[in-house]
Amino acid sequence: MRHVRHAVILAGGSGTRLWPASRRGRPKQLLPLGPDGETLIAAALERARGVAGDNVLIVTGEDMVAATHDAVPGVPVIAEPVGRNTAPAIGLAAATIAARDPDARLVVLPADQHVRDRAGLVALLARGLDELEHHDVIGTIGIRPTRPETGFGYLEIAAGAPGPVMPVVRFVEKPDRATAERYVASGHYLWNGGMFFARAQRLLRELDTHVPAIGAGVRSIVGGAAASEIYAGLPSISIDHAVMERAQGVVTIPADVGWDDIGSWAAVAELLAARGPTVAVDGSDNFVLTDDDTLVATIGVSDLVIVKAGNALLVVPKHAAQRVREVVDAVTAQGLLKYL
């Protein structure tokens, strides 16, 4: 008998990197940046359903539950009372699922990513869950790198390992440019895309081993204790630091599915066409996005990101797009909260 397959969508996020489109209570997964104009979380839900049918559970911040329900109606949501990074969120989801289905196999998918080849990714995730029928591994989807990206973590795989499921030699943090170039050239490094597969019980055991407070905390919440009291006391730590870098027998399935992180407006500009009416005189390669019918006219400027969303407008060169947080910080410091 094949065990029931589950998918967990991680839908946290603070809404700063894609400001002003993303806001407090409207982080990027709720933006209509999917390939067909759907929200990113709706696109993630399609991937999740492709591998788990209706057994999908979303974890999101308490203040985003209503907006998440609006974006993907009918999908069960559990709320983080406060943000505590991915390890407690995944732990809470795993404990919730394991309480109903102790043999559950699950995949974990971030809600805010771009995947061009959905069917290809779904097939690899299904392959990962198949692997769990035979081996109690912890697995990750390793993205074949297409550029020497310094904004991602990498996985090292053994030279010459047979596929498709390969042992991970080690996880490495975001490298500098020269290191990233070496990684990509070697062919033995993959991007850590933040997508995992494991049995729910195995994830909980790993948390018990490496960060026992999280394992105990999420079990007690599922057992009936007040999440509002317990969750805030859990360590804020990523699943990478808490489990993946420490666990034994971590495997990966290399993927070449047109995956990308949507970490800045520059990334959006790479993935999407401009949205909204535009007129450009001279200049080129500006990325323009408006959430209403505002015409954006440019003369003699190039490589700019111009985003008009709600009551705010952002103008930034693509190469500086990762600095949006500085604007959000400045707006916060000036107390202009209605713009956040």
Least distance from a copy of itself to the Cβ atom of residue 22, Å = 13
Per CB under 8 A, the list member of 18, 181, 331, 335 interacting with a copy of itself is 331
CA-based radius of gyration for the chain:
20
Work out whether 70 is an interface residue with a copy of itself (CB under 8 A). no
Which tokens is 71 given? 């974006």
Q: What is the three-class DSSP state of 105?
A: strand
Work out whether 274 is an interface residue with a copy of itself (CB under 8 A). no
Work out whether 297 is an interface residue with a copy of itself (CB under 8 A). yes
Work out whether 300 is an interface residue with a copy of itself (CB under 8 A). yes
Distance CA 239, CA 21 (A): 28
Which tokens is 95 given? 């404990």
Q: Which stretch binds a copy of itself (CB under 8 A): 146-154, 187-195, 229-237, 288-296?
A: 288-296
Least distance from a copy of itself to the Cβ atom of residue 297, Å = 4
The C-alpha torsion from 261 through 263 and 264 to 270, rounded to 10°, is: 0
Work out whether 302 is an interface residue with a copy of itself (CB under 8 A). no
Distance CA 30, CA 340 (A): 15
Q: Which stretch binds a copy of itself (CB under 8 A): 91-99, 101-109, 135-143, 295-303?
A: 295-303
Per CB under 8 A, the list member of 20, 88, 139, 194 interacting with a copy of itself is 20
Say which DSSP state 4 is in.
P
Least distance from a copy of itself to the Cβ atom of residue 25, Å = 17
DSSP string, 130-192: HHHHH---EEEEEEPPSS--SSS-EEEE-TT--SSSEEEEEEE----HHHHHHHHHHS-EEEE
Work out whether 306 is an interface residue with a copy of itself (CB under 8 A). yes
Per CB under 8 A, the list member of 1, 273, 281, 337 interacting with a copy of itself is 281
At residue 312, what is the residue type?
A
Work out whether 5 is an interface residue with a copy of itself (CB under 8 A). no
Work out whether 119 is an interface residue with a copy of itself (CB under 8 A). no
Q: Whose Cβ is closer to a copy of itself: residue 225's or residue 279's?
A: 279
CA dist 14 → 18, 68, 83, 98, 313 (Å): 10, 14, 9, 28, 19
Give the contact letters, 221-240, x = binds to a copy of itself (CB under 8 A), - = no: --------------------
Work out whether 330 is an interface residue with a copy of itself (CB under 8 A). yes
Torsion angles phi and psi, residue 89, rounded to 5? -65, -45
Work out whether 337 is an interface residue with a copy of itself (CB under 8 A). no
Specify the DSSP element, H or E, that contains 98.
helix 86-100
Residues near a copy of itself, by CB under 8 A:
20, 277, 279, 281-282, 290, 292-301, 304, 306, 308, 311-317, 320, 323-324, 326-327, 330-331, 334, 336, 339
